[in-house]
Amino acid sequence: MTKQKLTEAKSAYLFLLPLIVGLGYFYFYAFIQNFYFSFTDLSSFGKPSLVGLENYKKLLTDEKFYLAFKNTLIYVLIGVPSVLIFSTLSAEFLNQNIKGNTFFRTALFIPAVTMPAAIGILWRWLYNYQFGIINVLLNRVGIESIAWLSNTNLVKGSISIVLVWSMSAIYTIIILSGLQGIPKSYYEAAEIDGANKFQIFFKVTLPLLTPTLFFVAVMTTIGIFQIFDLIFLMIQPTALSLRYSMSMVYYFYDRAFVAFDKGYASAISIILFLMILLITVVQLKLQKKWVYEE
């Protein structure tokens, strides 16, 4: 018996070996290394030396970091509710008995398989001040051209539009499969009781969908906290509007791999990690308040 248990444990460790070695080296060791770097003046050359809490102190007075932090929060505050609303509406409507269901479904899901670089190329063209189709159409109806990507007040909104446009597809798929998991009998019972469409949606569908919506809320929050691609692809490094659109991850990338101030960049990444951790813990705590359990 004990011998059998020993073989089982031995086999288990063998099965786990590649994963443990890989995760250990590339992730656990890397995590500790990054944490250590945040207390050093690591740049691209030479050996790093310890500087204590210097990097973190610098963060407190760094105006650019403050802006990046604020911008990121705004992306999250606009993006998460928008993605939730659009994905839920799309999923709910696709789940109805509509004509041309396959066409609508396929068309709505296309952004889910499109790479950010292509999305960036496409939207920069649509947003183009002089020749972009959006401004041309606005001019037609008597509205003046809008500097979508260079107006410092609008740039976050313009990027958020593309963000929501590109993110909603995946979450529509996930919410749709959540909807399909709701037993039909609930709807039948509600209909027999004479509930109308709105009552059914708000009293039956939404409560039963809350576990999925909770998952989507957590995933989109974490995802948008790490927004980088669209800003990198749509805003020129020299543009004035960069200050008003760059995110924490953009600033991290800029410090680490453009300015080569890697010790400082490590500190930024640690703060990002702590922020995401904090928000996820808060969301988990709030979960009990609104997520319906059977």
**Is 12 one of the binding residues for other proteins (CB under 8 A)?**
yes
Indicate which single residue of 49, 85, 114, 278 sits in contact with other proteins (rule: CB under 8 A).
Answer: 114
Residue 270: both structure tokens together:
């640690």
Per-residue contact flags (x/-) with other proteins for residues 237 to 256, judged by CB under 8 A: ------------x--xx--x
Measured from the CB atom, is 153 or 227 closer to other proteins? 227
CA–CA separation, 243 vs 245, rounded Å?
Answer: 6
**Is 212 one of the binding residues for other proteins (CB under 8 A)?**
yes
Taking the CB of residue 56, how many other CB atoms lie within 10 A of it?
16
Measured from the CB atom, is 5 or 153 closer to other proteins? 5
Centroid of chain to Cα 285: 20
Indicate which single residue of 67, 80, 216, 242 sits in contact with other proteins (rule: CB under 8 A).
Answer: 216
- Contacts with other proteins in 93-112 (CB under 8 A)? 93-94, 96-98, 103-112
Residue 208: both structure tokens together:
């039963």
Q: Smallest gap, in angstroms, from Cβ of residue 125 to other proteins?
A: 6
3-state helix, strand, coil in the chain (%, to 5): 75, 0, 25
CA–CA separation, 224 vs 166, rounded Å?
Answer: 12
Indicate which single residue of 50, 77, 121, 240 sits in contact with other proteins (rule: CB under 8 A).
Answer: 121
Indicate which single residue of 169, 224, 242, 246 sits in contact with other proteins (rule: CB under 8 A).
Answer: 169
Q: Smallest gap, in angstroms, from Cβ of residue 46 to other proteins?
A: 13
Q: Smallest gap, in angstroms, from Cβ of residue 140 to other proteins?
A: 8
Indicate which single residue of 182, 187, 206, 243 sits in contact with other proteins (rule: CB under 8 A).
Answer: 187
Q: Smallest gap, in angstroms, from Cβ of residue 286 to other proteins?
A: 17
Q: Smallest gap, in angstroms, from Cβ of residue 152 to other proteins?
A: 21
Q: Smallest gap, in angstroms, from Cβ of residue 22 to other proteins?
A: 3
CA–CA separation, 265 vs 113, rounded Å?
Answer: 31
DSSP-assigned states of every residue in 159-213: HHHHHHHHHHHHHHHHHHHHHHTS-HHHHHHHHHTT--HHHIIIIIIHHHHHHHH
Q: Smallest gap, in angstroms, from Cβ of residue 290 to other proteins?
A: 18
**Is 191 one of the binding residues for other proteins (CB under 8 A)?**
yes
Inter-axis angle of helices 63-94 and 155-180, nearest 10: 40
**Is 177 one of the binding residues for other proteins (CB under 8 A)?**
yes
Residue 212's nearest CA partner among 91, 69, 116, 40 is: 91
DSSP-assigned states of every residue in 247-273: -HHHHHHIIIIIS--HHHHHHHHHHHH
**Is 56 one of the binding residues for other proteins (CB under 8 A)?**
no
Centroid of chain to Cα 209: 21
Indicate which single residue of 71, 82, 90, 150 sits in contact with other proteins (rule: CB under 8 A).
Answer: 90
- Contacts with other proteins in 20-49 (CB under 8 A)? 20, 22-23, 25-31, 33-34, 37, 42
